[in-house]
Structure 1
Amino acid sequence: MTMSIRQKGDKALQLLLIEMMSTTSEEAELCFPQLNSSCRTIMRPHSVSMLIYFTLSSISVLTVVLNLLVIISISHFKKLHTPTNLLLLSLAVSDFFVGLLMVFQIILIDGCWFLGDLMCAVYFIFDHIFTSASIGTMVLISIDRYVAVCYPLLYPTKVTQNRVKVCVSVCWMICAFFHCLLLKDNIKHPGRYNTCLGECVVIKDYYAGIADVLCSFIGPVTVIVILYVRLFVVAVSQARAMRSHIKDVTLQGSVRVTVKKSELKAARTLGVVVVIFLMCVCPYFCVTLKGDDAVVSASSAAFVMCLFYVNSCLNPLIYAFFYRWFRNCIRVIVTLQILKPGSREANIL
């Protein structure tokens, strides 16, 4: 049996906190003082506790609020109902729930789980589903941009809103089915792998762990990198073509298709999203794949785990920086103009 990839990261964070303790483990309090079989809490200075709670709580709140703004913007304004924005909506939904689930991660920081064994298993299943849906959506975004830039004539007919909705729905259903299947033993027998009361542990067998790594990391990242390398080559070629000033246009040249500037800009913006996503996700999986000896790399593992979750907060900030429509939507929402009749038809582009 092997520990879940994400569970390794959670343990690493707890190990890092143990390193920061000023008291010995013998002085630690029990999660359930009335029971001798209870797990021990992680004791540390009050200032450290406040810093940790404030940091993680801020990240959680910021992630939820920013992604909620994206969800409201794309869902409300009809001008934003495009195939690409529907993919961004799916990504925002997954990141929104990741931000909500960070509340449970904050609960686990002290080393105690008070919500029961079944809720522990449910928490990790949803955590796996939402993070996998985020990765799957990144793959769909890469495919969308690849078709838009490399096959611009086919894009309007091949990539439609209905097809994108179907692809997003299938992606979420596959993620839900896949991780429910991998973690079914933990649902049938919640808490069977706990060593003490108050512990929250999820375990997969060896082959399930391999399947998780292949389907949740290696496969998607490979597809994303290949598509964006190809996209980058085509985008550079198109940029050179648009900069060239050819006065004598032949018949063959007149029908040659060049990619719109808007498509290149969208590809560049979403390329930034994908690159930051890979920078946040790859270190996490690389560290946790080193093995069960998390004590040696507790600090690095805890850092990349936090980096993994922070990625869900960064995407809306990237939109705010690159997309004028998102900044306009924020202004309309904050000023409550969104409540006015006919606001759905507003031109916020």
Structure 2
Amino acid sequence: MRMTAAVMYEQGLPAPYALSQPLKIEEVELEGPGEGEVLVEVRSAGLCHSDLSQVAGLRKRTLPVVMGHEGAGIVREVGRGVTGFKPGDHVVMTVGSGCGECVYCVNSRPVLCELVSASRTKGVLMNGARRLTRGAMGLYHHSGVSSFAQYAVTVPGTLVKADPAIPFDVAAMFGCAVVTGAGCVFNAAKVRAGQSVAVIGLGGVGFNAVMAAKITGASVIVGIDINPGKFALARDLGCTHTVSALDADIVDVVRDLTLGGVDFALEMSGSKAAMTTANAVTRKGGEIVCVGLGATGDLYHYPHSALVAEEKVFRGSLMGSCVPQRDLPLYMRYYQEGRLPVERLMSGIFRFDELNLNLDRLEHGEVLRQVLRPHG
């Protein structure tokens, strides 16, 4: 079938992206689903800082690629052998899937699946297939999802069923922002009632971490960001305190609030300065959970003797250390119960012709989560 999609041919084009146009809105061809594949009509797709980092070239991709890695839609067709989905099912699209058979998957760590990592690097589906072309040119799949398109062919592992009562614009955010932010609290940090948390970087992922920390019963939740305009929402969603990342006394302020430092510092941006802050505001024996990805090959510095003497832990958390088929239904239930009001993070709905402009808005910190409606 022919459809509209956002294709990236080159990484590292300069901002403003409204002028350089790194994402080309084009007519492309999509093959129908093969054996073990699913055709999804994409109804909504979230725009994320991960997309921004790919456009900037911080992590290399196989090009040209149809972008988009979180979304929600309707199953329209299933290939031979697919039994878990049927036409008409509402689904969330996520990159946190695994093969189900490797040592990581059988130990409930599908985000570390080697097959998925290899396929993501190559720009193919988990089964090694490619279904996208433009004329004689083959196109690649972004993280096996490619949700910046009107339709997507993917494999069942990237899909989780959603209650049709959940609006597509909200459901799309569960594929990355929610599962990453909430998951780093529930799965990586395993925050318990009465513990203290600092969330450094109040974007879509950070706010989901705030809401999840509130669900756990954390006694102190400190929101840290360079933009004080986010603090009112942060307090509404669960922060007990908010502190400017630009405050010269930030370390002393957070330590005073928490009687020596937080149990967990959750760093969302991958910024070296933010990582330094995260380490400094964490108490002895506490954990720094690294959620934000910097550029490939970036090196970060820390005082090693203090790490040993204070028994701190640096922990990575990719995609919220999630098991999508286990975690997403739970998080969607929290949303329906009003405990995870992710709709409050919605900054706006947009069409394909506004996609590059909205990359600029995201980079400038003007928005939290913007959602593309591929069908207008």
TM range (shorter): under 0.3
Greater RCO, 1 or 2 (C-alpha within 8 Å, sep 6+): 1
Determine which structure has more spread, i.e. the larger CA radius of gyration.
Answer: 1
Structure 1 length as normaliser, TM-score? 0.26
Greater helix share, structure number: 1
Structure 2 length as normaliser, TM-score? 0.25
Greater strand share, structure number: 2
